[in-house]
Amino acid sequence: MIQFLEKYKTVRAYSEQLCSPLYIEDYIPQPAEFVSPPKWHLAHTTWFFEEFLLKTKLPNYKVFHTQFSFLFNSYYNFVGERSGRLNRGNMTRPTVEKVYAYRAYIDKHINMLLEQDSSPDLLEILELGLNHEQQHQELLITDLKYTLSLNPLFPVYKEGYSLVSDKNTSTGFSSIKGGIFKIGHSENSFCYDNELAQHEVLLSDFEISNALVTNGEYLEFINDGGYKQFSLWLDEGWAWVNNNQIEAPIYWHNIDGEWHQYTLSGLQKIDPQEILAHISYYEAAAFALWKGMRLPTEFEWEAASNQLNWGSRWEFTASPYSPYPGFKTAEGAIGEYNGKFMINQMVLRGSSNATSKDHSRNTYRNFFHPQAQWQCTGIRLVK
Give, as one character, the DSSP assignment of residue 292. Answer: T
Q: Tens digit of pLDDT per residue, the chain (383 long)? A: 678 899 999 999 999 999 999 999 999 999 999 999 999 999 999 999 999 999 999 999 999 999 999 999 876 665 667 788 889 999 999 999 999 999 999 999 999 999 999 899 999 999 999 999 999 999 999 999 999 999 999 999 999 999 999 999 999 999 999 999 999 999 889 999 999 999 999 999 999 999 999 999 999 999 999 999 999 999 999 999 999 999 999 999 999 999 999 999 999 999 999 999 999 999 999 999 999 999 999 999 999 999 999 999 999 999 999 999 989 887 776 766 677 889 999 999 999 999 999 999 999 999 999 999 999 999 999 99
Query: 115 and 34 in one domain?
Result: yes
User: Of 149, 165, 185, which residue constitutes the final position of a domain?
Assistant: 149
Q: Are 269 and 260 in contact (CB under 8 A)?
A: yes
Query: 210 and 131 in one domain?
Result: no
Instruction: Single out the residue of 14, 2, 1, 3 nearest to residue 103, CA to CA.
Output: 14
Exposed/middle/buried for residue 1 (C-beta within 10 Å: 0-12, 13-18, 19+): exposed
Sign of the four-CA dihedral 182, 186, 191, 193: positive
Q: Where in the sequence is the domain holding 48, given as residue range(s)?
A: 2-149
Give, as one character, the DSSP assignment of residue 249. Answer: -
Is residue 158 included in any domain, yes or no? no
User: Of 108, 134, 149, which residue constitutes the final position of a domain?
Assistant: 149
Query: 193 and 144 in one domain?
Result: no
Q: What is the CATH number of the domain that holds 85?
A: 1.20.120
Helix (H), strand (E), coil (C) string for 147-161 = HHHCCCCCCCCCCCC
If you count DSSP H runs as helices and E runs as strands, how many of each does the chain have, helices first?
10, 11
Q: How far apart are CA 46 and CA 247, in angstroms?
A: 39
Q: Are 232 and 286 in contact (CB under 8 A)?
A: yes
Q: How far apart are CA 269 and CA 263, in angstroms?
A: 10
Q: What is the CATH number of the domain that holds 256?
A: 3.90.1580.10
Query: 361 and 278 in one domain?
Result: yes
Instruction: Single out the residue of 77, 95, 74 nearest to residue 85, CA to CA.
Output: 74
Give the H/E segment covering residue 282: helix 281-290
Q: Are 113 and 58 in contact (CB under 8 A)?
A: yes
Query: 223 and 96 in one domain?
Result: no
Number of domains composing the chain = 2
* Total residue count of the chain as it appears in this document: 383
Query: 366 and 246 in one domain?
Result: yes
Listed in sequence order, the DSSP H helices in 20-86 are 38-49, 55-57, 68-72
